[in-house]
Amino acid sequence: MATDITARKLASPTPEISKDMQPQDLLEHRQGIVSEVRVVVFAGYVPTESPEIVTAYLAWWADELQDWTREQVVWGLRKFKRDTPGKRPEPGHILAILKQQRGAMEVERSKVNPASADEPRKPMTPEQIERMADAGNRAVAAMRERAQ
């Protein structure tokens, strides 16, 4: 079983969607994330920090979350607010939620279907047995020829 897991290519911890984006598309994607973050983080109060600090803070959010789709970010923000009402999220909170969900989905996707693993094999037909025996005999004969 361990060899099955190690032989498979493991999924990236993030979807890495920003990797293939053109600069303009990446900028629009980051702006969309910042728009969603602004709604959740600054809802109900006006930031007292300077505009430069707020811009840098939102850029940090975009840096951390740009590898996720906008829908995934919104889902993570809403989950955080449902699970911890009254608390302001930080990028690490949302990343942890998204990575945990992605990990759980990858584990489910990589599981072997238990029903198919337990199904008994169909018995081989006499023709299949004969073909396998012939193939084995030919392989043994070829190895003997090479050895001589």
Domain residue ranges of the chain, discontinuous segments joined by +:
12-110
Q: How far apart are CA 80 and CA 113, in angstroms?
A: 32
What is the rounded average pLDDT for all residues in the chain? 86
Is the pLDDT at 81 greater than 50? The verdict is yes
pLDDT of residue 63: 97
pLDDT of residue 1: 46
Buried-exposed string 66-79: b where 16+ CB fall within 10 A, e elsewhere = bbbebebbbbbbeb
CB 111 within 8 A of CB 70: no
Is the pLDDT at 10 greater than 70? The verdict is no
pLDDT of residue 50: 93
pLDDT of residue 3: 47
Tokens of 88: 């302001």
pTM for this model (two decimals): 0.68
